[in-house]
C-alpha cells in the first residue's frame, strides 16, 4: 500500500471515530494525555526534592515540593478517573452507533448487493476481524495509545533537553547517547514489524477456519437447532470439530509466539545495555559537578520513559499500518454504491384505480452471471385483474416479481406504470403500492402485531382483523396476549412458537394490513399440500376483492379464478390467456402442467 493511501485511510479512520461519537473521541484524547502526564509530576518534583535535601534547604521548601507533588498528582488522577469513566460510558454509544451504521447501510443498499455472495462474505469477514481486534477496535486502541506515547515522547524530550545542552558533557558522549537511543528505536521498528507481520499472516490464514467455527458454535447454542442435534446424536461431532479447530488455532499461536518472544528478548537485552550506559554517563557528569544528584533520577527516568514511549509508538504505528488492510475492507463495505436509479416522481393517486403495469421487451441477467434469467418478456395488466404466473421451478417467475417490485432493474427493456418507466418514480412511493408475500418470507421475534404491521406501532383491531381474514383467528384466540404476544423466544422467554402453516397465515395478514393496490403471493404456500394450497389461494382471492392479485406458483391452484395466466418456461413467457383458453391448447405447456397435477386436487 502506498504511503499516500496509508495517510488517507488514517485520516478517514479518525474522522470515522468523530462521526460515531464526538464525545467519546474527545474523552479518548483527554484520557490519553492525562494518563501520560501522571509520572512526570513526581519525576520532576522528586528531583527537586532530592536536590533540596542534598543542599539542606529549608523545611518550607521541602514541604512545598511535597505538597505540589501530591496535589498535582491528586488533581491529575481525579481528572483521569472522571474522563476514563465518561469514556467507558460513551463507548456503548460508539458501538451502538457503529451497529446502527451497518444496519442503515444494509437498508440503503441495493437488493442486488444484499444477494451478492461477495458482499455477504465481506460483511462476515468484517465481523470476524472485529472479534479478533481489528477494524474499529484497532483504530481506538492505536489512537489512544498513540496519543499516550506521543505525549510522553514530547515530555521526555523537553525534560531531557538540558542534559544535551551541557557544555561540560563531551560531544562524543552526547553522540553515543543519541546513537544508543536511535539504535534501540531502529531495532524496535524492525522487531515490531516482524512481530505484527507474523501475527497478521497467521490471522489471514485462519479467517476462514474461524468463520466456520463461529457457525458451528451458533448451531450448538441456538435453541432451534437443539432438537436435531439431540435426535440425530450430532453433539459429539460438533464438539469434536470445535475442539480440533481450537487445537489447530492454539498450535499455530504457540509457534508464532515463540518467534515473537525471541524478538522481545533481544529488545530487552538492548534496552538494558543502553540503560547501563546512561547510568555511567550520568554518574560521570554528576561527579564532575555538571549535574545535580536529583537530576540523575530525572534524566534516567525520562530517558527510560522516552525509550518505552518510542517502543510503544512504533508498535502502535505498525499495528495501525497493518490494520489499514482491514480498514480498507471495512470502509469498502460502506462505499458499496447503489446502482439503482433514484427517481423523484410521485405515484399518481387515481380515483378510478386505472393503473396499468407493462413489461416491454424485458430481459434480465443476475449480477456476476452470464445466463439470462428472463428473455424478452412482454406483458400488460391493470388494477383489478387477477394474474397467475406459473411454470416449473427455475422458469423465471420470482425474478419477474423482483423486477416488477424494483428489487432489480432490467438488463434490457423497461417496465412501465401508467406509461412511465418505474425508474422515474420515487422508490419508496413506488414500493408502497405492493403487498408481497415471498416464498422465503421472514417473521421476527417481535410482538405478533408488530410482525403484521411491519413496525412497532400497530392498530390492534386492524391487526386482529387481518389475522382472522388470513385464517389465523382460532390460533390468535389461544395466544396469551393476543396480538401483543411475542413470537419465538428471541426477546421473550415466554414467546410463542408457531408452525410453518401458521407463519404463512401471519405473512398473508401482513400483506393485507398494508392495504396496497397490488397483492402478490410468490409461492408462500409451497410447503403445503396442493389441496390446502388451493384453499389458501381461494380464501386470499376472496379477500383481495377488487385489488390486483398476482399469484406465483409452480402449481396451478390459483389459475381457475384468475383473469389472465402467464406461463413461464426457460425465462420466457410462452403462453398467456385464461384457464379455459390455455387448457384447450392440448399441445401447450399449461395443458401439460394441468394434466400432471390434476390428481392432486381430487380428495380421496
What's 492's DSSP letter? -
Query: Please, what is the Cα angle at 458 between 453 and 463, to 5 degrees?
Result: 65
- Closest by alpha carbon to 338, among 13, 12, 106? 106
- CA pair distance 549, 412, nearest whole angstrom: 26
Measure Cα distances from 424 to 64, 342, 420, 430 in Å: 78, 7, 7, 10
pTM (predicted TM-score): 0.70
SS3 call for 515: coil
Spatial separation of the C-alpha atoms in residues 301 and 307, rounded to whole Å: 10
pLDDT in tens, 53-111: 888 888 888 899 999 999 999 999 999 999 999 999 999 999 899 999 998 898 888 88
Residue 566 dihedral angles phi and psi, to the nearest 5°: -115, 120
* Cα three-residue angle 542-543-548, rounded to 5 degrees: 90
Residue 411: exposure state from Cβ atoms within 10 A (0-12, 13-18, ≥19) = middle
Residues with Cβ within 8 Å of residue 304, at least 6 apart in sequence: 275
pLDDT digits (tens, 9 = 90+) for 118-139: 888 888 888 877 877 778 888 8
Confidence of residue 202 (pLDDT cuts 50, 70, 90): low
**pLDDT band at 223; cut points 50, 70, 90:** very low
Give the Cα separation of 453 and 39 in Å (integer).
60
Q: Give me the phi and psi of 472, to 5 degrees please.
A: -100, 10
Kindly state the cell numbers that stand for 226. Answer: 437443539
Q: What is the DSSP letter of 487?
A: B
Secondary structure (3-state) at 33: helix
- 33 contacts 151 by C-beta, under 8 angstroms: yes
Measured CA angle at 594 (ends 589, 598), to 5 deg: 160
What's the rounded Cα separation, in Å, for the pair 533 and 397?
18
pLDDT, the chain, mean: 82
Q: Taking a C-beta distance cutoff of 8 angstroms, is the pair 9, 324 a contact?
A: yes
Homologous superfamily of domain range 350-433+517-604: P-loop containing nucleotide triphosphate hydrolases (3.40.50.300)
Say whether pLDDT at 604 is over 50.
no
pLDDT given at position 385: 83
Residue 595 has pLDDT above 70, yes or no: yes
Residues 402-459 have pLDDT tens digits of 999 888 999 999 999 888 899 999 888 888 888 888 877 888 889 999 999 988 899 9
Amino acid at each position: 500500500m502506498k504511503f499516500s493511501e496509508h495517510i488517507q485511510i488514517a485520516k478517514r479512520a479518525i474522522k470515522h471515530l468523530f462521526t460515531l461519537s464526538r464525545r467519546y473521541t474527545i474523552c479518548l484524547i483527554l484520557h490519553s494525555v492525562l494518563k501520560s502526564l501522571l509520572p512526570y509530576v513526581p519525576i520532576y518534583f522528586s528531583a527537586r526534592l532530592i536536590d533540596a535535601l542534598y543542599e539542606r534547604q529549608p523545611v518550607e521548601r521541602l514541604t512545598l515540593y511535597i505538597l505540589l507533588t501530591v496535589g498535582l498528582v491528586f488533581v491529575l488522577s481525579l481528572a483521569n478517573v472522571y474522563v476514563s469513566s465518561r469514556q467507558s460510558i460513551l463507548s456503548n454509544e460508539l458501538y451502538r452507533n457503529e451497529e446502527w451504521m451497518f444496519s442503515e447501510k444494509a437498508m440503503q443498499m441495493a437488493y442486488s448487493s444484499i444477494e451478492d455472495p461477495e458482499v455477504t462474505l465481506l460483511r462476515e469477514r468484517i465481523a470476524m476481524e472485529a472479534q479478533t481486534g481489528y477494524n474499529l477496535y484497532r483504530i481506538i486502541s492505536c489512537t489512544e495509545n498513540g496519543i499516550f506515547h506521543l505525549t510522553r515522547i514530547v515530555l521526555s524530550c523537553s525534560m531531557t533537553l538540558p542534559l544535551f545542552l551541557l557544555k561540560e558533557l563531551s560531544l562524543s558522549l552526547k553522540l553515543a547517547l543519541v546513537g544508543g537511543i536511535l539504535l534501540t528505536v531502529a531495532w524496535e521498528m524492525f522487531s515490531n514489524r516482524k512481530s505484527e507481520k507474523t501475527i497478521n499472516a497467521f490471522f489471514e490464514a485462519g479467517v476462514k477456519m474461524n468463520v466456520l467455527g463461529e457457525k458451528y458454535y451458533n448451531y450448538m447454542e441456538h435453541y432451534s437447532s437443539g432438537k436435531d442435534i439431540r435426535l440425530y446424536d450430532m453433539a459429539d461431532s460438533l464438539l469434536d470439530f470445535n475442539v480440533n479447530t481450537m487445537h489447530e488455532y492454539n498450535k499455530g499461536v504457540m509457534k508464532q509466539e515463540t518467534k515473537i518472544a525471541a524478538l522481545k528478548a533481544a529488545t530487552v537485552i538492548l534496552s538494558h545495555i543502553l540503560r547501563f550506559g546512561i547510568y555511567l554517563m550520568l554518574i560521570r557528569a554528576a561527579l564532575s559537578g555538571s549535574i545535580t544528584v536529583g537530576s540523575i533520577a530525572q534524566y534516567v527516568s525520562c530517558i527510560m520513559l522516552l525509550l518505552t514511549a518510542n517502543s510503544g509508538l512504533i508498535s502502535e504505528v505498525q499495528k495501525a499500518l497493518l490494520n489499514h488492510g482491514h480498514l480498507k475492507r471495512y470502509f469498502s463495505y460502506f462505499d458499496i454504491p447503489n446502482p439503482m436509479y433514484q427517481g423523484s416522481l410521485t405515484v399518481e393517486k387515481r380515483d378510478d384505480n386505472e393503473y396499468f403495469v407493462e413489461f416491454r421487451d424485458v430481459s434480465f441477467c443476475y449480477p456476476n452471471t452470464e445466463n439470462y434469467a428472463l428473455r424478452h418478456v412482454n406483458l400488460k395488466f391493470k388494477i383489478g385483474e387477477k394474474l397467475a404466473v406459473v411454470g416449473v421451478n427455475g422458469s423465471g417467475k420470482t425474478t419477474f416479481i423482483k423486477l416488477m417490485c424494483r428489487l432489480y432493474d432490467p438488463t434490457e427493456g423497461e417496465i412501465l406504470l401508467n406509461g412511465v418507466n418505474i425508474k422515474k418514480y420515487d422508490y419508496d412511493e413506488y414500493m408502497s403500492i405492493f403487498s408481497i408475500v415471498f416464498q422465503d418470507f421472514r417473521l421476527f421475534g417481535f410482538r405478533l402485531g408488530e410482525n403484521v404491521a411491519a413496525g412497532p406501532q400497530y392498530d390492534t383491531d386492524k391487526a386482529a382483523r387481518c389475522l382472522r381474514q388470513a385464517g389465523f383467528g382460532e390460533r390468535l384466540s389461544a395466544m396469551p396476549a393476543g396480538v401483543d404476544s411475542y413470537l419465538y423466544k428471541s426477546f421473550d422467554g415466554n414467546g410463542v412458537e408457531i408452525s410453518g402453516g401458521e407463519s404463512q397465515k401471519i405473512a398473508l395478514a401482513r400483506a393485507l394490513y398494508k392495504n396496497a393496490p397490488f397483492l402478490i403471493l410468490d409461492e408462500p404456500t409451497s410447503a403445503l399440500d396442493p389441496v390446502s394450497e388451493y384453499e389458501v389461494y381461494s380464501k386470499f382471492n376472496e379477500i383481495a376483492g377488487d385489488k390486483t392479485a398476482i399469484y406465483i406458483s409452480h402449481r396451478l391452484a390459483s389459475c381457475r379464478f384468475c383473469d389472465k395466466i402467464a406461463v413461464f418456461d426457460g425465462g420466457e413467457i410462452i403462453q398467456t390467456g385464461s384457464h379455459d383458453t390455455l387448457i384447450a391448447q392440448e399441445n401447450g405447456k399449461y395443458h401439460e402442467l394441468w394434466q400432471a397435477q390434476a390428481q392432486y386436487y381430487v380428495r380421496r
